[in-house]
Amino acid sequence: MNILSDLSNILIPALIFYIVGYGMVSRVKVYEEFVNGAKNGLKTVVQIMPTLIGLMVAVGVLRASGFMNFLGDLVGGLTEKIGIPADIVPLLFIKMFSSSAATGLVLDIFKTHGTDSYIGMLTSILMSCTETIFYTMSVYFLVAKVTKTRWTLAGALFSMVVSLVMSIILAGMTV
């Protein structure tokens, strides 16, 4: 196991040295390009900051108000029949907006039900195979100035449903 740890400690610096070396051989002003990239990165952060703050505030308000628990209780009766426990419903909803807020819910689920339970397994699989749909769309479309999104939301929601179905199947096989 130490070999893998040592290898991983070597790979990142080796990759950086390779990139710098390749740039120098190619007669690229490596440091100037790095600084320009950092400037462009900061511009991107400034552009997406209002969107990020808005999403985080909205998720925080929903979570603090108890709406997420209400939603879970409201829809949980229907979802229990298809293998989705009521505690998972708020996670599914929040995950579409914020992965960090979803992580907070995951920790709550793990504390309540444990990591090796069906709900714990389902939560783990869902977190690894779903994406923050609205965050990703708003941030990346804003930065790339995409205006014609056509089927993006429908495709992302379909992907979320497929991920949910597969998570239910996989979690059922592990418990």
Whole-angstrom Cα distance, residue 12 to residue 92? Answer: 35
Is 19 among the domain residues?
Answer: no
In a domain, 4, yes or no: no
Residue 168 falls within a domain, yes or no?
A: yes
| Model pLDDT, residue 122 | 92
Number of domains observed in the structure of the chain: 1
Q: Does any domain span residue 27?
A: no
Q: What is the pTM assigned to this prediction? A: 0.67
Residue 13 in domain: no
Residue 21 included in any domain: no
What is the C-alpha to C-alpha distance for residues 34 and 40, in angstroms, rounded to an integer? 10
| Residues whose CB is less than 8 angstroms from the CB of residue 136 and which lie 6 or more positions away in sequence, other chains included | 156
Range 138-150 average pLDDT: 80
The model's pLDDT over 73-131, given as tens digits with 9 standing for 90+, comes to 888 888 888 878 888 888 888 888 888 778 888 988 999 999 999 999 999 999 988 88
What's residue 46's pLDDT? Answer: 87
What is the extent of the structural domain holding 83? 49-174
